[in-house]
Structure 1
Amino acid sequence: MQKNFLVISALGEDRPGIVEELSRLISDTGCSIEDSRMTVLGGDFAVILLVEGRWNELAKLETGLPAAGRKLGLTAHAKRTAPKTKEGNLLPYSVEVVSIDHPGIVHHLAAFFSGREINIRDLATTSYAAAHTGTPMFQVHMTIDVSASLHIARLREEFMDLCDQLNLDAIIEPSKL
Structure 2
Amino acid sequence: MPAPSSFLVISALGRDRPGIVNELSKTILEGECNIVDSRMTVLGGEFAILLMVEGQWNTLAKLESALPEIEKRLGLTIIAKRTEERAPSSNQLPYAVEVVAMDHPGIVHQLAEFFSERQINIEDMVTSSYAAAHTGTPMFSVTMSVGIPANLHIATLRDDFMDYCDSLNLDGVLEPIKGA
1:87 aligned partner: 89
1:88 Cα deviation from its structure 2 partner? 3.9
Task: Determine if contact 1:29/1:57 at 8 Å carries over to the other structure.
Answer: yes
1:159 is matched with which residue?
Answer: 161
Which residue does 1:136 correspond to in 2?
A: 138
Render the CA deviation track for 1:100-145: whole Å, top value 9, x for unaligned: 0000000000000000000000011000001111110000000000
Unaligned runs of 5+ in 2: none
Which of 63, 76, 79 aligns to 2:78? It is 76
CA shift for structure 1 position 147: 1.5
Residues 93 and 146, structure 1, Cα contact 8 Å, conserved in 2? yes
Matched to 2:152, the amino acid is L
- 1:38–1:48 CA contact under 8 A, matched in 2: yes
**Conservation of the 8 A alpha-carbon contact between 2:4 and 2:56:** no
The DSSP-based 3-state class of the residue aligned with 1:150 is coil
TM-score by length of 1: 0.97
Map 1:40-119 → 2, pairs under 5 A: 40-119=42-121
Tell me which residue corresponds to 2:35: 33
Match of 1:12 in 2: 14
Partner of 2:129: 127
Structure 2 Cα separation of the partners of residues 112 and 2 of structure 1: 39
User: After TM superposition, what 4+ stretches of structure 1 lie above 3 angstroms from structure 2?
Assistant: none
Q: Counterpart of 2:70 in structure 1: which amino acid?
A: A
Give SS of 1:161's match.
Answer: helix
Uncovered stretches (5+) of structure 1, i.e. residues with no partner: none
2: CA distance between counterparts of 1:129 and 1:73? 33
Partners of 2:88 and 2:70 lie apart in 1 by 34
Contact 2:131 2:139 in 1 (8 A): yes
Q: Secondary structure at the match of 1:56?
A: helix
In structure 2, give the amino acid aligned to 1:166: L
Aligned-CA RMSD value = 0.9
User: In the alignment, which residue of structure 2 is the partner of 1:170?
Assistant: 172
For 1:162 and 1:89, how far apart are their aligned partners in 2?
25
Matches within 5 A, 1:140-151: 140-151=142-153
Paired-residue identity, %: 63
